[in-house]
């Protein structure tokens, strides 16, 4: 399957690129914003497409999706300000969904955030606007598109090495999960249709990623 990764230069997506080197069934197209980011992917034999999620129109995004089967949205403003958060994590996500439908793509996988419910949205902290943006992007994906969606809600992302083991389910107490394990989960989601039209949280745990994803 051919997969377009939006936000390919992010930490989770870079781990994803490393995982698929050993998975001949997945061909990645990495959507990047700056030409200097291309070398990382070219060294791994991954094709890149230079697009700006915020500035480029939906039609240009759709054109880049014409030859792919699945879109993974792993972009994020990364704490670069409230305006950028809305432009990337909310409007950018909806642009990507709209482009996918225009391109005739069905499968759309969203990397969201932990606990995107009303309680978390009301908490006044540095992540409040990010959480609100992610929540409404998720709701748009579920209720305003015809896409075969999956939403992955990671816990607190950390850069410690992955263990290949997680726990899944909504309503877990917030905890950490290595970015590497999130990337491995995304690879597994691509191979398991039981995740279509489902959302689940992932945290560090004691169940192998493949087994955990099969149980969703």
130 catalytic per annotation: yes
Ordered DSSP codes for 120-165: HHT--STTHHHHHHHHHHHHHHHHS---EEEEEEE-EEE-SPP-SE
Q: Which of 15, 40, 130, 136 is catalytic?
A: 130
Neighbours of 86 (CB within 10 A): 17
Q: How far apart are the C-alpha atoms of 79 and 73, rounded to whole Å?
A: 17
Q: For the sheet containing 47-50, what is the strand order? A: 47-50, 27-32, 2-6, 70-73, 107-111, 148-154, 198-204, 165-168, 207-208
Give the residue numbers annotated as catalytic, written as ranges: 130
């Amino acid at each position: 399957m051919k997969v377009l990764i939006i936000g390919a230069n992010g930490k989770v997506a870079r781990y994803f690129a490393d995982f698929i080197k050993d998975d001949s069934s997945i061909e990645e197209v990495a959507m990047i914003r700056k030409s200097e980011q291309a070398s990382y992917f070219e060294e791994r034999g991954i094709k890149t497409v230079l697009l700006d999620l915020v500035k480029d129109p939906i039609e240009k995004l759709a054109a880049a999706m014409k030859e792919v089967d699945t879109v993974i949205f792993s972009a994020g403003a990364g704490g670069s300000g409230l305006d950028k958060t809305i432009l990337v994590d909310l409007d950018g996500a909806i642009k990507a969904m709209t482009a996918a439908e225009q391109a005739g793509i069905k499968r759309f996988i969203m990397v969201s955030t932990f606990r995107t419910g009303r309680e978390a949205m009301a908490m006044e902290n540095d992540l409040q606007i990010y959480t609100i943006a992610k929540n409404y992007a998720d709701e748009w994906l579920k209720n305003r598109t015809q896409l075969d969606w999956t939403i992955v809600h990671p816990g607190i992302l950390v850069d410690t090495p992955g263990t290949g083991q997680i726990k899944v389910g909504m309503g877990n107490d917030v905890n950490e999960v290595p970015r590497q394990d999130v990337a491995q989960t995304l690879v597994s989601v691509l191979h398991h249709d039981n995740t279509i039209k489902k959302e689940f949280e992932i945290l560090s745990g004691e169940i192998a990623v493949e087994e955990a994803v099969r149980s969703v």
